Structure 1
């Protein structure tokens, strides 16, 4: 490596370090404010805040999955129906290529809504375990019915969207009901779609890393001031480790394949 290149690297580090140092100072100040605020909340609200949040959660849990699922189903049906109508009118001319782009964008939002609803459904399923200690069998039945609707509707919506995508792009393969769907779908994608997947995956990796850092701070403060216990911190650390290690290992494998 030439001396000029070494100097360029040092200058780049020196320039970036100023912003880094300022950010560290700001983070320390914000951390001190959050820590002080947590102590204040713990002293003045303490268990009252936890009880209030828990009671509020127990009130909405029996109905949340069902209500959200019905809302997602209605929105998905409307978007899917409009997309299929537009597809029938598409004559595959270059002038109307934006019609397909618009259809695919809306279908992506449908998949987003369905996926978010499924994750929230699993959250409320876990939160609803406390309902079994109650005598209200009606709430328990409604709770289970809502979760079933959430899971089934998500799978059916994803299947409809994927099949419509395969009609638009005949080279795509894979069935939602296949346990190896993700790999088969990715293998059938062209280079443009794969590039989009890779960019999205890297963005997701960065987002999860930042989220884990924020959750780590929350868990540390909760452990110290609100008796969260050690388990939330352990779970966040496991997620952080899994996504970091898997990303690095996959990167190493790709580098080896490139060399070979």
Structure 2
């Protein structure tokens, strides 16, 4: 009972602090409306300008992912040629590094392209089009290369673990792969998925609050908040549906 009371008091204090912080920020924003609005405009322009750099960093990550894949493939050959258990572990870790960089590359390239397109929306000129077309070409090239690398990674992991099933290019890949995992691997996937679920919920809420705060000074419109709410709803519905279906199996 004492513990519950402490938790309740801490929750109330956090809510009070959050409300106070919001009030202070709102007052400061209203008192310096022109300054805040100008700063937000400069920030938006900087994000648009940084979009090509984001695509370039995405390309660098793709190169690093391919390099890690090559190292992982070499270690895989060594393990399969009669290596010890440590060789298998080293190969899998190297392949995981490649997958991680490839995933970051895809996320960054999508984000950078979105920044570029939204920044120029309705403002395209003849001088802007070459840059946009180059960005689109690089984006699609990165998508293809990363897809190829991920498919090749899956093949190497399947060589190390013959029981694994699935083709990375198959829409049913994730289910096939999960079905071929043992109980320990499924437990690890579940733990990672729950951690991602909680982190995503916190990120969505924080981003939604930022979007609402910025909207007071910069005309974002309702769409960003609506999209975040839709993502939050889909995530929660998928989690609840899966948990209920697993409970009654």
Aligned equivalent of 2:193: 201
Q: 88, 97, 104: which is aligned to 1:116?
A: 104
Give, in angstroms, the shift of residue 153 of structure 1.
1.5
How many pairs are equivalent?
Answer: 244
Contact persistence 1:61–1:143 (CA under 8 A)? no
SS of residue paired to 1:172: coil
Aligned equivalent of 2:116: 128
Give, in angstroms, the shift of residue 215 of structure 1.
1.2
Residue segments in structure 1 that go unaligned for 5+ positions in a row = 1-9
SS of residue paired to 2:216: helix
SS of residue paired to 1:53: helix
Distance 1:253 1:163 in 2: 31
Distance 1:57 1:20 in 2: 36
SS of residue paired to 1:133: coil
Please report the TM-score for the alignment, with normalisation by the length of structure 1.
Answer: 0.83
Residues 205 and 37 of structure 1: is their aligned pair in 2 closer, same or farther, counting only changes over 3 Å? farther
Structure 1 residues 188-207: Cα deviation after superposition (integer angstroms, max 9, x where no partner)? 11112111110011001100
Residue 150 (1) aligns with residue 166 (2): no
Matches within 5 A, 1:41-190: 42-46=33-37, 48-62=38-52, 64-65=54-55, 67-90=56-79, 96-129=84-117, 130=120, 133-136=124-127, 137-190=129-182
Give, in angstroms, the shift of residue 11 of structure 1.
4.2
Residue 249 (1) aligns with residue 238 (2): no
Residue segments in structure 2 that go unaligned for 5+ positions in a row = none
SS of residue paired to 2:248: helix
Give, in angstroms, the shift of residue 184 of structure 1.
0.9
Contact persistence 1:111–1:161 (CA under 8 A)? yes
Structure 1 residues 161-196: Cα deviation after superposition (integer angstroms, max 9, x where no partner)? 111111111111111111111111111111121111
Which of these two proteins has the greater Rg computed from alpha carbons? 1
Contact persistence 2:36–2:217 (CA under 8 A)? no
Distance 2:93 2:243 in 1: 29
Give, in angstroms, the shift of residue 17 of structure 1.
1.9
Distance 1:35 1:104 in 2: 50
Give, in angstroms, the shift of residue 218 of structure 1.
0.8
Residues 12 and 59 of structure 1: is their aligned pair in 2 closer, same or farther, counting only changes over 3 Å? closer
Distance 1:34 1:249 in 2: 39
Please report the TM-score for the alignment, with normalisation by the length of structure 2.
Answer: 0.86
Distance 2:53 2:201 in 1: 32
